[in-house]
Amino acid sequence: MKLIICENYEEMSRTAARIAAETLLRKPDALLSFAGGETPLGFVHRFADMVNSGQIDPSRAYYVSLDEWAGLSREDEGSCGLFNQKELLGRMRIPFLQAHVINGAADIEEECRSLDGFIAAHGPLTLSVLGIGMNGHLGFNEEGVRFDLNAHVIPLSETTKRVMPKYFGEKFHPEYGISQGIRQIMAAETVLLLASGEHKANILREAVRGDVTNQVPASILQTHPSCVVVADKAAAAML
Ligand code: GLP
């Protein structure tokens, strides 16, 4: 694992966007995947800015979303689909050649099959940009997840259920998540793990310095041949 410690959230976001841009310049037909949530918001905005200013051209590249709350559609407030549309795809003046965004309101087993199909057709992932959950989850690969799965539906952990109102208040009460599997994430050429804020310091230490265990799913990234952790000072405080 390579570790880049940034002064603050803004620098973390710009650093990650620079790495994503370098990936696209090196491989114009890359398959990119970015997490939703609070952490990557600045990063996806910077990425879209770089598209709009002509620094990078996504028109030959592919994009696939990472995860979704089961039951939420791409229009629902707080959904990963809406995040993708509003914060990334809808901001880009030049679109990706193809973008595949999970629909949590559709038949979720079918959504898993089509996610697998898209990644198989255009993958493996060139770059996966991830956040880390308070329990060390990646996407919705929760504690105890098998590391050899592709896209799957998984019950949300108690920690995730406690945290989820920050995305959509009490409007939705999902019980399951749909997620790319650890197998697909580990097959990515490069993985960026973003972390920001002191509330992530403890779990980031477990993921980066602790044992590799499915009780802290992000710890598997210690065994990835090209994983870069990009954290701000607050999140890196316990490393
Ligand atoms: C969410 C998502 C993940 C995300 C993580 C951290 O529940 N399933 O894809 O990376 O938890 O989210 P945040 O960046 O909002 O802290």
Could you read off the pLDDT tens digit of each residue along the chain, which spans 239 residues? Answer: 999 999 999 999 999 999 999 999 999 999 999 999 999 999 999 999 999 999 999 999 999 999 999 999 999 999 999 999 999 999 999 999 999 999 999 999 999 999 999 999 999 999 999 999 999 999 999 999 999 999 999 999 999 999 999 999 999 999 999 999 999 999 999 999 999 999 999 999 999 999 999 999 999 999 999 999 999 999 999 99
Residue 138 Cα to ligand 1 midpoint, Å, equals 7
Q: Which residues line ligand 1 (CB under 6 A)?
A: 35-39, 66-67, 130-131, 133, 139-140, 160
Residue 35 Cα to ligand 1 midpoint, Å, equals 7
**pLDDT given at position 233:** 98
Q: Return the C-alpha torsion angle 29, 35, 41, 43, nearest 10.
A: -40
Residues annotated as catalytic are: 67, 135, 137, 142
Instruction: List the residue whose alpha carbon is closest to atom 10 of ligand 1.
Output: 131
Residue 201 Cα to ligand 1 midpoint, Å, equals 15
Give 156's Cβ-side CA count (13 Å radius). 20
**pLDDT given at position 55:** 98
CB atoms within 10 A of CB 15: 21
Mutational test site, ligand 1, from 41, 67, 101, max ligand atoms within 8 Å of CB = 67
pTM greater than 0.95 (yes/no):
yes
Answer whether 212's CB lies under 8 Å from 222's CB: yes
